[in-house]
């Protein structure tokens, strides 16, 4: 099964950029890389996803390595509201869904 590896936690200061890394060395050629986040006491919410090229949306940017074995979620200016658990996710080949690991807890300080 394709799996992801993320740091357990990261810290940032408000209004600074944040780079959240993810390793997925066994990713298949057709797997999209998804990022979701979970704010405290809420359900997960979609952040961004991509296949090969770097992607941007209003929430974040996703930088994908050329060999697709790693990716980085970039929050350009962290706010206190960005404190959450960030999940880097691939498809679960056993079930028709995504596999959520433990993710990275992002702490943002004022």
Partner 1 sequence: NAGVTQTPKFRVLKTGQSMTLLCAQDMNHEYMYWYRQDPGMGLRLIHYSVGEGTTAKGEVPDGYNVSRLKKQNFLLGLESAAPSQTSVYFCASSYARPWVETQYFGPGTRLLVL
Binding site for partner 1 (CB under 8 A): 31-32, 34, 36, 41-46, 49, 87, 90-92, 94-98, 100-103
Distance CA 29, CA 52 (A): 9
Q: Minimum Å distance from CB 46 to partner 1? A: 5
- Rounded to a whole number of angstroms, the minimum distance from the CB of residue 24 to partner 1 is 13
Q: Give the residue with the Cβ less far from partner 1, 29 or 43.
A: 43
Nearer to partner 1, 18 or 90 (CB): 90
Q: Min. distance of Cβ 72 from partner 1 in angstroms? A: 20
Single out the residue of 68, 67, 83, 80 nearest to residue 20, CA to CA. 83
What secondary structure letter does DSSP report for 28?
A: -
Place of tokens 């992607």: 55
Phi/psi class of residue 25: alpha, beta or left (left: φ > 0; alpha: ψ in -120 to 50)?
A: alpha
Task: Report the residue number, 14 or 92, with the smaller CB distance to partner 1.
Answer: 92
Q: Which is nearer to partner 1, 14 or 31 (CB)?
A: 31
Query: Can you tell me the distance from the alpha carbon of 98 to that of 88, in angstroms, rounded to the nearest whole number?
Result: 10
């Amino acid at each position: 099964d394709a799996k992801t590896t993320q740091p357990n936690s990261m810290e940032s200061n408000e209004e600074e950029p944040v780079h959240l890394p993810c390793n997925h060395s066994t990713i298949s050629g057709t797997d999209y890389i998804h990022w979701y986040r979970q704010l405290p006491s809420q359900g997960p919410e979609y952040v961004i996803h991509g296949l090969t090229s770097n992607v941007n949306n209003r929430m974040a940017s996703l930088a994908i390595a050329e060999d697709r074995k790693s990716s980085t979620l970039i929050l350009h200016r962290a706010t206190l509201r960005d404190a959450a658990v960030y999940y880097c996710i691939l498809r679960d080949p056993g079930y028709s869904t995504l596999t959520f690991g433990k993710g990275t807890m992002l702490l943002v300080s004022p």
